Structure 1
Amino acid sequence: MAVDIQAVREADHAIVVVPRRRPWRWIGWAITAVVVVSIAVSFLTNPNYRWDVVGGYLFDQRILDGLVTTLKLTVVSMAIAAALGLLLATMRLSRSTLLRGVAGAYVWLFRGTPILVQLILWYNLAILVPSISIGIPFGPTLWSAATNDLITPWTAAILGLALNEAAYLGEIIRSGIIAVDKGQTEAANALGLSRFDAFRRIVLPQALRVIVPPASNEAIGLLKYSSVVSVIALPELLYSGQLIYGRTYETIPVLLVVCIWYLVVVTVLTVLESRLERRLGVGFRATTDGGKRWSRWLTGNR
């Protein structure tokens, strides 16, 4: 059936679109504005917040040192977790029952126990294993060291955070690999690429589009729950604040400083995540001109 393009254009111009009235939307905006203004007034006028004290501690060297420690913990733990998570994902997708079983047991163990318990166990590993040694089974020992010398608060924190995070990243990476169409691998095999080259050059780059958003959220989550390492006396951001208000009793102002720095870092990470997602082409740009696009499709003006 032929379409009269001129008639369609004239009909399109003759249509007058009247927006639907949404009074409840304006009521919602009004209520939101009242709540926001009330909170802002409370923040500005309540003397108990003690913003002068907050400003004094904002760039305190102890707070900044704790912030650097938190960032180091996050970067190092996330790097180790990403490498180990990729290994776990490939093991879970392996044809070997042994590799799948080992990876599945790892994920089950570290996802099934609280991170706080894991940190305390790593920190007190010397109670279970007084010394760590490397040698030939049932033969001579080649190297040995006391566990207390090896498992410092730093080592325990990195082990606890990285090994726990690897279990989650392994499942995220596995889901991203599964999301890649099987035809991509078949095409790579038809071109004569090895399984490793096909995975490295074809499967993994496409899987990143699925992996990046949840993995970025995991990185932000790791930054925040790295504060649990305060239980092993590692002076990260929160523990540095606790040391300060433990002596000065200025609990609320110092905690506000800690919250401000967490918000700053999380905001920066969120911006970087958004840019990375756009670069990888994740998601689709939302549009509100559906009628116009449909009209342009009918008239051929695409």
Structure 2
Amino acid sequence: MEFDTTIFWDALTSQEYLDGAVLSLVLAAAAQILAVIIGFVVALGRVSKRRIPRGIAAVYVWFFRAIPTLLVLLLIWNAGPQLFPALREDWFSPFLAGLIGLAVVEAAYMAEIIRSALLSVDEGQALAARALGLTPAKVMRKVLVPQAIRVALPPTGNEFIAMIKYTSLASVISLRELLTTAQVGVSVTFRYAEYYVAALVYYLVIVSVVMALQAMLERRYRWVSRTPRTWRPGRTASSALAPNAPAPKEVSA
């Protein structure tokens, strides 16, 4: 059996694949945003000087880093309605279950990223800001967070790319995302190569666009000071600043 380009092209350009790709991207973006918010709160607990918040945050990170994401999704979708009757209503959709499951697991990883970023900022920055009369909230918002973003941005971008791929796990809770769309086509035609390769192309395009946006954001937060060229023996300070300027003549005694 050969690769059928017609089936591949029909799947690649179908509305079902486009809807599945959009749903995967929306779910990944929403889950990542929610994970950043939860992770920021957990990170504050991790760096707190009080024992109770620090202990609760540590347990949260330990728990959700220890269990598989797939198991969390199954617990929320299948065991949740069994334990909480309110989840049996129509409002509890596979999208919402996937959003909660992916967000709470990713928040544990984002908490460690944000914690490391906050600790990378020199303590003197906060002390200087407090000496200027800034409140702790303003110190965090205007001094610590802007500097921590620069450190946290690259790993956060990597986590978002991973999140896009983790949305495929939502296929087990009946969410019709990109991979589920490909599996539906395979179950009908048994053309594995064509339908899976079409999904692969969508993932490659989405991740490539995200990587380009990540590179743009990293350049936006890159603080680089322009310095003169390295001084070499035989060059004066003025020639180092102006490489094309003629060297001064030596004055004989």
Deviation at 1:217, TM superposition (A): 0.3
Q: Given that residues 210 and 282 in structure 1 are in contact (C-alpha distance below 8 angstroms), is that contact kept between their aligned partners in structure 2? A: no
Secondary structure of the equivalent of 1:192?
Answer: coil
Aligned to 2:38: 84
1:52–1:294 Cα change, 3 Å: farther
Q: After the TM superposition, which residues 1-150 of structure 1 pair with which residues of structure 2 at under 5 Å, given as runs?
A: 48-126=2-80, 128-131=82-85, 146-149=86-89, 150=91
1:283–1:88 Cα change, 3 Å: farther
1:284–1:244 Cα change, 3 Å: farther
Question: 1 CA distance for matches of 2:225 and 2:114?
Answer: 21
Q: Normalising by the residue count of structure 2, what TM-score does the alignment of the two structures yield?
A: 0.88
Given the alignment of the two structures, is residue 229 of structure 1 paired with residue 170 of structure 2, yes or no?
yes
Question: 1 CA distance for matches of 2:191 and 2:234?
Answer: 64
Aligned to 1:135: none
Q: Given that residues 213 and 273 in structure 1 are in contact (C-alpha distance below 8 angstroms), is that contact kept between their aligned partners in structure 2? A: yes
Given the alignment of the two structures, is residue 152 of structure 1 paired with residue 90 of structure 2, yes or no?
no
Question: 2 CA distance for matches of 1:49 and 1:296?
Answer: 65
Deviation at 1:297, TM superposition (A): 9.2
Deviation at 1:128, TM superposition (A): 4.4
Question: 2 CA distance for matches of 1:298 and 1:188?
Answer: 41
Q: Given that residues 122 and 151 in structure 1 are in contact (C-alpha distance below 8 angstroms), is that contact kept between their aligned partners in structure 2? A: no
Q: Given that residues 81 and 88 in structure 2 are in contact (C-alpha distance below 8 angstroms), is that contact kept between their aligned partners in structure 1? A: no
Secondary structure of the equivalent of 2:232?
Answer: helix
Partner letter of residue 204 of structure 1?
V
Question: 2 CA distance for matches of 1:199 and 1:130?
Answer: 38
Query: Where does the alignment leave 5 or more consecutive residues of structure 2 unmatched?
Result: 242-253
Secondary structure of the equivalent of 2:2?
Answer: helix
Deviation at 1:52, TM superposition (A): 2.9
Deviation at 1:253, TM superposition (A): 0.6
Deviation at 1:282, TM superposition (A): 6.3
Partner letter of residue 147 of structure 1?
L
Given the alignment of the two structures, is residue 262 of structure 1 paired with residue 208 of structure 2, yes or no?
no
Aligned to 1:240: 181
Query: Where does the alignment leave 5 or more consecutive residues of structure 1 unmatched?
Result: 1-46, 132-145, 286-291
Question: 1 CA distance for matches of 2:157 and 2:235?
Answer: 41
Q: Normalising by the residue count of structure 1, what TM-score does the alignment of the two structures yield?
A: 0.74
Aligned to 1:289: none
Match of 1:274 among 207, 211, 215: 215
Given the alignment of the two structures, is residue 295 of structure 1 paired with residue 232 of structure 2, yes or no?
yes
What is the percent sequence identity of the aligned residues? 37
Question: 2 CA distance for matches of 1:226 and 1:296?
Answer: 58
1:168-204 CA-to-partner distances (Å, cap 9, x unmatched) read 0011000000000111001001101111100100000
Match of 2:150 among 183, 198, 209: 209
